[in-house]
Amino acid sequence: MPQTTTRTPLAPYTRLLAAPGARAFTLGNLIARLPMGMFSVSAVIMIANTYGSYALAGAVTATGLAATALAAPWTARLIDRHGQARIAVPATLIAALGSLALLLCVHYDAPAWTLFLSYAATATTPNTGGMSRARWAHLHRDDPATLHTANSFEQAVDELCFMTGPVIAAFLCSTLFPEAGTLTGAILLVTGILVFAAQRSTEPPPTARTATTRSPVRTPGFPALLAVFLATGAVFGAMEVTTIAFADAQHHKSSAGAVLALQAAGSCIAGLLYGSLRPAPDTARRLLACLAAMTALMSGPLLSTTATPSLLALAASLLLAGAATAPTMVTGMTLVQRLTPEGQLNEGMTLAVTALLGGIATGSATAGWLVDHTTPATAYVTPVAAAALALLLCAVGVPRTAPSRSR
């Protein structure tokens, strides 16, 4: 009798990482990406411990976020034009120097304005996740199913880093010395980028800009997709602030990180499972379905906190709500890849991440205002409304059948 092979959920990922050079650049990117979840937490702890002001710490990190939103698309454009290794390494070294400058300014109790300048210099940090996705898109440009698995894998890595990064940062800062988180993050970032950049066989070729080269924003459907990412980012920012406030109101502020980690864990698991499935061909319709699921599941925390003050019930609803996060992000990034002109993938994906960061800041501010003027439970309406807005924007502005990138 003929033997039958059993398809397991991990089988697509085993084949994905079996490609020549894939494990090496994935390892380097993972090392470089872990600090992305460490830097802001480390900076807040470090600055608040020395200067005694969370307001100052928040203002410094917000300045860094704003500077990143301005600088990141330009860095990505240079990477597309001149190559990942040629641009990412010096850009990372500049960012690492900014982190070290911040560390020294805090250690020696320098004037507050020096903190803003130092942290702003870290804005040159390249979009490590975008560079990795660009490599997968280059390697599997003719294989949509494998590219879907790759995007799911990358989203799971994102969730893993943002789940463990803050925990590692808080541990280092509290057990060693306040600057330990920032110092470790800078070392990991430089090490990871050097390992990643050394894998030249999988690097996408640079694409010179010509008179006809135009920004991805001018591609039909791309601005609407950026608006969807902006609204989706508001979901994440609002959920984080509201959950911290709710845990604090229940006198369990120290548990907020663990509760939020459950949401990331749910997203990570869902992302891996989603990547093992064969995707439907119409990516825009898939995104619409994912956003509808996100809108429905984000109502869970609102309902649970309205019904009971139990942090355990909130944790369960966040774990379930997280299940819609990764599929939404995976499908959204796949659509970005399809809409972005050939040779501009890093720029296109960085624009999406920039929109996401802008949404996170907007959602955080909106939810914070609601927490101060109503209750934390009421503020959970913000992520539900933001998810519904993303669904509406997708339904109205994103074309149902997205064209593939020209080759």
Q: With a cut of 80, say whether residue 383 has pLDDT above it.
A: yes
**What band does 93 get if pLDDT is binned at 50, 70 and 90?**
very high
**What pLDDT sits at residue 7?**
57
**What band does 4 get if pLDDT is binned at 50, 70 and 90?**
very low
108 CB contacts (<8 Å, ≥6 apart)? none
Segment 49-69 mean pLDDT: 79
**What band does 253 get if pLDDT is binned at 50, 70 and 90?**
low
Segment 215-236 mean pLDDT: 86
Domain shared by 233 and 375, yes or no:
yes
Our count of domains for the chain comes to 2
**What pLDDT sits at residue 48?**
80
Segment 44-51 mean pLDDT: 82
pLDDT digits (tens, 9 = 90+) for 168-195: 887 888 788 888 889 999 999 999 999 9
**What pLDDT sits at residue 5?**
46
Q: With a cut of 70, say whether residue 54 has pLDDT above it.
A: no
Last residue in a domain, options 188, 206, 224: 206
As a whole number of angstroms, the distance between CA 277 and CA 326 comes to 13
As a whole number of angstroms, the distance between CA 358 and CA 256 comes to 23
Q: Which residues of 186-198 are buried (b: 16+ CB within 10 A; e: fewer)?
A: bebbbebbbbbbe
**What band does 28 get if pLDDT is binned at 50, 70 and 90?**
very high
Tell whether 6 is covered by a domain: no
Q: With a cut of 50, say whether residue 283 has pLDDT above it.
A: yes
Q: With a cut of 80, say whether residue 272 has pLDDT above it.
A: no
Domain shared by 254 and 371, yes or no:
yes
Domain shared by 366 and 302, yes or no:
yes
Domain shared by 277 and 200, yes or no:
no
Tell whether 17 is covered by a domain: no
Segment 79-87 mean pLDDT: 88
**What pLDDT sits at residue 369?**
82
Tell whether 94 is covered by a domain: yes
Domain shared by 357 and 246, yes or no:
yes
Domain shared by 187 and 240, yes or no:
no
Segment 244-248 mean pLDDT: 78
pLDDT digits (tens, 9 = 90+) for 299-310: 999 998 888 888
**What pLDDT sits at residue 190?**
95
218 CB contacts (<8 Å, ≥6 apart)? none
Range of lowest pLDDT (11-15, 114-118, 213-217, 259-263): 213-217
Q: With a cut of 90, say whether residue 239 has pLDDT above it.
A: no
Tell whether 372 is covered by a domain: yes
With pLDDT > 90 as the criterion, what percentage of the chain qualifies? 20
**What band does 351 get if pLDDT is binned at 50, 70 and 90?**
confident
Give the domain CATH number at 303: 1.20.1250.20
**What band does 254 get if pLDDT is binned at 50, 70 and 90?**
low
Domain shared by 54 and 192, yes or no:
yes
> What's the Rg (C-alpha) of the chain?
21
Give the domain CATH number at 187: 1.20.1250
With pLDDT > 70 as the criterion, what percentage of the chain qualifies? 91
Domain shared by 223 and 192, yes or no:
no
DSSP state of 109: T
Domain shared by 183 and 332, yes or no:
no
As a whole number of angstroms, the distance between CA 246 and CA 259 comes to 11
Q: With a cut of 50, say whether residue 406 has pLDDT above it.
A: no
Tell whether 3 is covered by a domain: no
Tell whether 14 is covered by a domain: no
Query: What does pLDDT average to over the chain?
Result: 83
Higher per-residue pLDDT: 254 or 236: 236
Where helices occur in 176-310 by DSSP H, the ranges are 180-197, 222-249, 256-275, 283-297, 299-307
Tell whether 1 is covered by a domain: no
Q: In which domain, by residue range, is 273 found?
A: 216-407
Tell whether 385 is covered by a domain: yes
**What band does 105 get if pLDDT is binned at 50, 70 and 90?**
very high
The model's pTM: 0.76
Last residue in a domain, options 206, 238, 273: 206
**What band does 91 get if pLDDT is binned at 50, 70 and 90?**
very high
Domain shared by 285 and 188, yes or no:
no
Domain shared by 141 and 236, yes or no:
no
Domain shared by 96 and 190, yes or no:
yes
Segment 61-71 mean pLDDT: 81
**What pLDDT sits at residue 330?**
82
Q: With a cut of 80, say whether residue 207 has pLDDT above it.
A: no
Ramachandran angles phi, psi of 2, nearest 5°: -70, 140
* Greatest Cα pair distance in the chain: 78
As a whole number of angstroms, the distance between CA 249 and CA 243 comes to 10
**What pLDDT sits at residue 211?**
56
Of 99-103, 125-129, 329-333, which one has max mean pLDDT? 99-103
Q: With a cut of 90, say whether residue 43 has pLDDT above it.
A: no
